[in-house]
């Protein structure tokens, strides 16, 4: 697995190999890279940075404000 793609931004759902959870630093994978290593994601634990309900609430309350003409 060692491929690293700096073009991929990982946000909120972090895929971390189970055996690395006990270490202080974990290598975070995007879902595509995690599935390449384990199609069923058996070797991975998914960590959530923010509760989905909180993100949905922020999204639902978002309003776009037009700038000056």
Domain for residue 54, yes or no? yes
The pLDDT, as a whole number, for residue 7 is 63
Q: How many Å apart are CA 57 and CA 65, to the nearest integer?
A: 18
* pLDDT at residue 1 tops 50: no
| Domain count along the chain | 1
- Give pLDDT tens digits for 44-64: 988 888 998 999 999 999 998
Domain for residue 7, yes or no? no
- Give pLDDT tens digits for 12-42: 888 888 877 777 777 888 888 889 888 899 9
Domain extent at residue 41: 13-61
Domain for residue 68, yes or no? no
pTM beyond 0.75: the answer is: no
Enter the tokens of residue 35.
């599935």
**Residue 53: is it exposed, middle or buried by C-beta count within 10 angstroms (0-12/13-18/19+)?**
exposed
Please calculate the CA angle 56-57-63 and round it to the nearest 5 degrees: 100
Domain for residue 5, yes or no? no
Domain for residue 3, yes or no? no
CATH classification at residue 35: 2.10.110.20
Domain for residue 1, yes or no? no
Report which DSSP code applies to 12: S
């Amino acid at each position: 697995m060692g491929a690293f793609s700096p073009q991929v931004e990982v946000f909120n759902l972090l895929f971390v190999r189970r055996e690395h959870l006990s270490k202080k630093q974990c290598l975070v994978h995007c879902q595509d890279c995690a599935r390449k290593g384990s199609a069923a994601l058996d070797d991975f634990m998914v960590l959530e940075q923010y509760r989905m309900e909180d993100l949905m609430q922020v999204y639902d309350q978002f309003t776009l404000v037009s700038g000056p003409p």
